[in-house]
Amino acid sequence: MKQSRRQFLKNMSAMAATFAMPNFLIAKSAVAKQENLTEWKISGSHWGAIRAKVINGRVEEIRPFEYDQYPTEMIKGIKGLIYSEARIRYPMVRLDWLKNREKSDKTHRGDNRFVRVTWDEALDLFYQELERIQQNYGPWALHTGNVGWRSTGQFHSCGNHMIRAIGMHGRSVSTAGDYSTGAGQTIMPYVLGSTEVYSQGTSWEIILKESENIIFWASDPVKNLQVGWNCETHEAYKYLEQLKQKVEKNAINVISVDPVKTKTQNYLGCKHQYINPQTDVPFMLAIAYVLYTEKLYDEKFIKVYTVGFEKFIPYLLGKTEDKVAKTPEWAEKICGISAQKISEFARMLAGKRTQLIFGWAIQRQQHGEQPYWMGAVLAAMLGQIGLAGGGISYAHHYSSIGVPESGAAMPGAFPLNVDEGQTPKYDNHNYNGYSAIIPVARASDSLLHAGETINFNGQKIVYAPYKMAIFTGCNQWHRHSERNKMKKAFQKLETIVSINYSWTATCRFSDIVLPACTPFERNDIDAYGSYSNRGVIAMQKLIDPLYDSRSDFEIFKELCRRFGKEKEYCRNMDEMEWVEKLYEDCRKENEGKFAMPSFQKFWQIGYVLFPEGKPWVRHADFRDDPELHALGTPSGFIEIYSNKIASFNYENCKGHPMWFEKSERSHGGPKSEQFKFWLQSVHPDKRLHSQLCESKELRDTYSIQDREPLFINPDDAKQLGIAHGDLVRVYNDRGQAIVGAHLSDDYPTGVVRLQEGAWYSPLDEKIGSIDTYGDPNTMTLDIGSSDLAQAVSANTCLVNIEKFNGNAPKPNGFTGPIEVKI
């Protein structure tokens, strides 16, 4: 066949590019066509909407969506996520488990030796294990409560797919609560009538206009608003930009109450009120003491809108059994703030319209219920709950809460539960005396203390000694505390199945590992703005699934096929039929209020945007009429004293907020002589929990010698002989890790930070093995916050630090498994 020289060179160039690129990195369609095809596609993510340039089936460039005026640099990690060395390429089975199944040597879990199998073999093994568990034990032996933050997308919500599919086979043990807000979401319904932590808050526009004081209490919105539950809009940043301008003009008094100088405080240039770690409650109690004794509190508000204040005051004044008045002088010795400053702080709050904005970190500690409860008491004493620019919020750092809702309906999701009228294959309700639900943060305890009974939110929970666990879209070896304890717990399990797109530590400690595709390798639809409801985003498949990965939908449909439920599972619809249905249902619900194009037009355009919503004040209706708009508390009012909680008779969570000493606390607290530093493990700045940690391009922007950075005060580092960039060992009696020293004046002496979500990378599977990358949960404490919430207590953690000497092992957590041929 004749061809021009130009065409010949063009063809040779395309062939050369193809040969230079491994076939597994080229989408299947592009391998077939071998042509220079360039497309721009739209998609969404937790880090915002994007435009992606795709050339010959490979993502070459990522740009922020044009309506995102404050995009995060996290989107630079998307290519690294898709093409990560840590991608799960094929179905894999742990070597010893494949040989011996449930009788395998559990101490080998985590040794990273796996055997490649076909999809049919892997799904057959998965199904056979489900059958064995239900036949030999029953629903108490299967744990399905771990679904995590998931990937974005309403149809491909991985937790929904797993729970629906497994529910069609049989029942299982589920979980209550979550790791983010476990203590807060349990205590607040008793105090303010809802979880509060996931509730829309007073609009930023109103706060900026009406507030005279804004107190960011352990809250860092500039850092945390980069991500959202759905596709994030980042609209809240325009209000933070306006707040910065007001701070510069001294138009609003803004204070950050935190042991460290946060990203928000540095951005705003606002005041910083240092406080010793874990001592917020003594500070708040002393503020309440000043408000009460100096008659600065709103007595009328207390009488009209609250109950139980008279039962709290004796404790505040030291007239109960502890005989300790909660004076500023008493608090000073604990929280590290002078009595004079405490009094001045209280008077400042009372003198002006004050908006309290709490973060989630202070409830992720032992007795984490108390600071949230006491914060509500302060807000009630100030009497500004329900007023524009006043009151309290527990969520303004999350998913652009504070941006007004458009009022538009958002797309639904793939159904979570078994359809009405259907029954599972094994319709067994017998849990053998064990509880069908356990608090999510007590997952390890359930295995290590099987059959024991614990208190939980007014109930008695009997730990189920479950034999099999399924994790999908969830890195349990990121979010749970105390890694060496987890190793012991996981050795109790007979079978662990993980479905994910990257080789997280959870996958390494599993028996059957199934490769899911990333959210950028499938078609979907997502809400644009979790709370603002600003639009709908098309998640167009950027490339075909790499390697041998599949969507969760395809994985679980094939699993259901093995017991004759695949048609019920998918309702006889494929991926695009589901995506179109979710969109059209949304369009129908918005008819007459908001115009939406046909699905075909929408898919071509890639998005629909709705008008901005109207400003709103949280709790305003309750303030206007507390009887007509009663809160969801037992009394309908703000409960400063809870008769319900008091009736539980818990020693560590009584009828009103109190100060409880921690099992370990820095700055003169328990164990502070043995371990010198408080380890703060906050939400990271450049990833979403552990998502994007596998993206080397993004990780290289913050890691030190390929390790997670440990932020430490320069004076502390100098005393330890540590320079910026050195490798250091951080350790306590629970674990140890090698990290890189990042010196910063933002951190006070005695306080260090390791951001959570760092991939656990133990040197080997042995208990006590050093973590080669820097996961803080190697050292954190795994105890319940209290008998009420039984929530995570990760921020109750003390460590020691020393310079690492010798040859440090390379981080080993970002590569695939050791493939064994049999």
> In CATH, what number is assigned to the domain containing residue 171?
3.40.50.740
| Residue 809 resides in a domain | no
Give pLDDT, residue 146.
65
| Residue 272 resides in a domain | yes
CB–CB of 526/44 below 8 Å? yes
Side chain identity at residue 21, one-letter code: M
Give the integer Cα–Cα distance in Å for 192 and 166: 36
Pair 464, 348 in one domain: no
Pair 30, 124 in one domain: no
- Taking the CA atoms of 618, 213, 227 and 281 in sequence, report the sign of the dihedral they define: negative
Q: What is the 3-state secondary structure (H, E, C) of 550-579?
A: ECHHHHHHHHHHCCCCHHHHHCCCCHHHHH
Give pLDDT, residue 27.
42
| Residue 653 resides in a domain | no
Question: Could you read off the pLDDT of 361-413 as tens digits, one per residue?
Answer: 999 999 999 999 999 999 999 999 999 999 999 999 999 999 999 999 999 99
Q: How confident is the model at residue 147 (pLDDT cuts 50, 70, 90)?
A: low
> In CATH, what number is assigned to the domain containing residue 307?
3.40.228.10
Residues 6 or more apart whose CB falls under 8 angstroms from that of 491 comprise 106, 107, 109
Three-state SS for 536?
A: strand
Structure tokens at 441: 């943060």
Question: Could you read off the pLDDT of 62-116 as tens digits, one per residue?
Answer: 999 999 999 999 999 999 999 999 999 999 999 999 999 999 999 999 999 999 9
Structure tokens at 46: 């937790």
Whether 14 has a pLDDT exceeding 80, the answer reads no
Pair 338, 462 in one domain: no
Please state the separation of Cα 706 from the chain's center in Å.
24
Pair 268, 147 in one domain: no
Nearest Cα neighbor of 633 from 257, 255, 191, 266 is 191
What's the mean pLDDT when you consider all of the chain? 94
Q: How many CA atoms lie within 13 A of 164 on its CB side?
A: 27
DSSP H or E stretch at residue 581: helix 575-589
Q: What are phi and psi of 191, to 5 degrees?
A: -100, -50
List own/partner pairs for 98-107 with CB under 8 A and 24 or more apart: 98/822, 99/822, 101/495, 102/129, 102/132, 102/467, 102/494, 102/495, 104/511, 106/490, 106/491, 106/492, 106/493, 107/491, 107/765
Side chain identity at residue 771, one-letter code: D
Q: Which residue has the tokens 């679904």?
A: 147
- Taking the CA atoms of 412, 414, 417 and 419 in sequence, report the sign of the dihedral they define: positive
Pair 121, 240 in one domain: no
Give pLDDT, residue 150.
81
Question: Could you read off the pLDDT of 129-142 as tens digits, one per residue?
Answer: 999 999 999 999 99
- Taking the CA atoms of 156, 160, 162 and 164 in sequence, report the sign of the dihedral they define: negative
| Residue 361 resides in a domain | yes
Pair 480, 563 in one domain: yes
Pair 276, 331 in one domain: yes
Partners of residue 497 on adjacent β-strands: 470, 512
Give pLDDT, residue 28.
45
- Cβ neighbours of 715 (radius 10 Å): 12
Partners of residue 736 on adjacent β-strands: 731
Last residue of a domain, one of 604, 632, 648: 648
Whether 608 has a pLDDT exceeding 70, the answer reads yes
Pair 279, 419 in one domain: no
Give pLDDT, residue 8.
33
| Residue 763 resides in a domain | no
Pair 240, 167 in one domain: no
Average pLDDT rounded to a whole number, residues 194-219: 98
Pair 221, 322 in one domain: yes
Whether 12 has a pLDDT exceeding 50, the answer reads no
Whether 656 has a pLDDT exceeding 90, the answer reads yes
Residues 6 or more apart whose CB falls under 8 angstroms from that of 390 comprise 210, 211, 353, 354, 355, 382, 384
Question: Could you read off the pLDDT of 310-352 as tens digits, one per residue?
Answer: 999 999 999 999 999 999 999 999 999 999 999 999 999 998 9
Structure tokens at 588: 């129908």
Give pLDDT, residue 123.
98
| Residue 800 resides in a domain | no
Average pLDDT rounded to a whole number, residues 658-666: 98
| Residue 802 resides in a domain | no
| Residue 61 resides in a domain | no
Structure tokens at 10: 């063009």
Q: How confident is the model at residue 2 (pLDDT cuts 50, 70, 90)?
A: very low
Higher-pLDDT residue of 34 and 822 is: 822
Pair 391, 254 in one domain: yes
Question: Could you read off the pLDDT of 695-744 as tens digits, one per residue?
Answer: 999 999 999 999 999 999 999 999 999 999 999 999 999 999 999 999 99
Give pLDDT, residue 36.
76
Last residue of a domain, one of 570, 588, 606: 588
Partners of residue 650 on adjacent β-strands: 653
**DSSP category for residue 730:** E
Partners of residue 217 on adjacent β-strands: 257, 358
**DSSP category for residue 249:** T
Give pLDDT, residue 184.
98
DSSP H or E stretch at residue 349: helix 339-351
Question: Could you read off the pLDDT of 557-585 as tens digits, one per residue?
Answer: 999 999 999 999 999 999 999 999 999 99
Domains in the chain, number: 3
Pair 137, 264 in one domain: no
Whether 7 has a pLDDT exceeding 80, the answer reads no
Whether 507 has a pLDDT exceeding 80, the answer reads yes
Q: Which domain holds residue 538?
A: 92-180+409-588
Side chain identity at residue 491, one-letter code: Q
Q: How confident is the model at residue 10 (pLDDT cuts 50, 70, 90)?
A: very low
**DSSP category for residue 250:** T
Give the integer Cα–Cα distance in Å for 201 and 30: 47
